[in-house]
Amino acid sequence: MNNDSIIFIGLDTHKSFMQVAVLQDHRGAKPEHLGRIKSNKSVLIKLAQQLQSKYPKATLHFVYEAGPCGYWTYRLITSLGHCCYVIAPSLIPKKSGDRVKTDKRDVAKLAKLFKAEELTPIYVPESEDEAIRDLSRARETAMKDLKDAKFQLKGFLLRNNIQATVKDNRSKKHLRWLTDLILPHHSQQIVLQEMIITISERMQRLQRLNNELLHQVKNWRYYPVVKAI
């Protein structure tokens, strides 16, 4: 048993736990379900140490599906000197009629398919690349939030038959015009003031993210590509 050249370890990752299955390399081997472990670094390190101790002459190959938990599992395992692969869920073969889905079955299936070379790993970005991506996503979210706030303001003005005298609703002049508006009811005035505050804050937030993204991307290794585009 300890002479197996490769040990395939399937992981089914979740926020607070992982399901683990182990499959040996010899012909006819069946996945062994190791149960559930906590989803944290110390427990995962301990798992890798236990498996390496149990199979001292084998190479450990971990595999798990890409998902909302990100790539910290991949980076931790590879930092320990083991192989790790991340699989896109859309690229996992599925049998027609196989509708029973459990964590235990999924993790065993993952190990078997990877051993059979029926899975294609995806590219895992470097931590710096992922950080830039997070910053870019934050900027996109800020843009959407600002657009939503302006859309709500537009609807409010339309309902109250108020036509803007300033065409550019992205300018400071437009904000000043909004600030000078006097509505017939105090309740409506409060709503307008809150909308103005929200838009102002979201404009400032977007500007901060724009500035930070511009600064960070200049130090990024892909900056020449970004600049060329």
Position 222 pLDDT exceeds 90:
no
pLDDT digits (tens, 9 = 90+) for 70-118: 899 999 999 999 999 999 988 888 766 565 567 788 899 999 999 999 9
Would the pLDDT of 26 be above 80? yes
pLDDT in tens, 141-172: 999 999 999 999 999 999 988 887 777 766 77
pTM over 0.85: no
Whether the pLDDT of residue 15 is over 80: the answer is yes
Cα separations in angstroms, 96 against 64, 100, 104, 105, 111: 22, 11, 19, 16, 20
3-class secondary structure, 98 = coil
